[in-house]
Homo-oligomer: A and B are copies of this chain.
Amino acid sequence: MPLDPARLFDPDPTQKSAAMYLYELVAKKPIYSPHGHVNPAFFSKPNYHFKNPVELFIQPDHYVIRMLYSQGITYDRILTSENPRAVWQLFASNYFLYRGTPSGIWLDHEMWEVFGVKEKLTGDSADRIYDQIVHMLAGEEFTPRNLYKKFSIAVLATTDSATDTLEHHQAILNSGWDGRIIPTFRPDNLINLNASDWIQNIHLLEKVSGIQIGSYKEFIQALEQRRSYFKSMGATASDVSPAQPITAWLSPNEMEVIFQRALQGKPAPPDAVNFSAHMLIELARMCVEDGLVMQIHPAIYRNHNPQVMKEFGPDTGFDIPVRTEFTRQLKPLLDRFGNHPNLTLILFNLDESALPRELAPLAGAYPAIKLGPPWWFLDSWNGMRRYFDQVMETTGIYNTVGFNDDTRGLLSIPARHDVWRRASANWLAGLLVRGVIDREDAETMIHELTDGLVKKAYHL
Contacts and interface: CB of A to CB of B under 8 A. Distances in A.
Contacts of A4: 434-435
A257 interface: no
Contacts of A96: 398, 441, 444
Given A323-B357, A361-B377, 15 more contacts: A1-B438, A3-B435, A70-B367, A72-B341, A96-B398, A97-B398, A99-B397, A304-B365, A305-B339, A320-B361, A320-B365, A321-B361, A323-B325, A323-B353, A352-B353
Interface in A57-96: 66-67, 69-72, 96
A362 to B, nearest CB: 6
- Give me the 7 closest cross-chain CB pairs, A-B, nearest first: A4-B435, A7-B435, A353-B353, A380-B393, A66-B365, A11-B433, A11-B12
B7 A71 contact: no
B367 A436 contact: no
A431 interface: yes
Interface string A4-28: 1011111110110000000000000
A8 B434 CA distance: 4
Contacts of A308: 339
A396 interface: yes
Nearest to A306: B335
A317 interface: yes
Interface residues of A, number: 94
A182 interface: no
A67 B99 contact: no
A105 B436 contact: yes
Contacts of A441: 96, 99
B399 A71 contact: yes
Contacts of A341: 72
Given A8-B436, A320-B362, A393 B101 contact: yes
A377 to B, nearest CB: 5
Given A352-B357, A357-B321, A392 B100 contact: yes
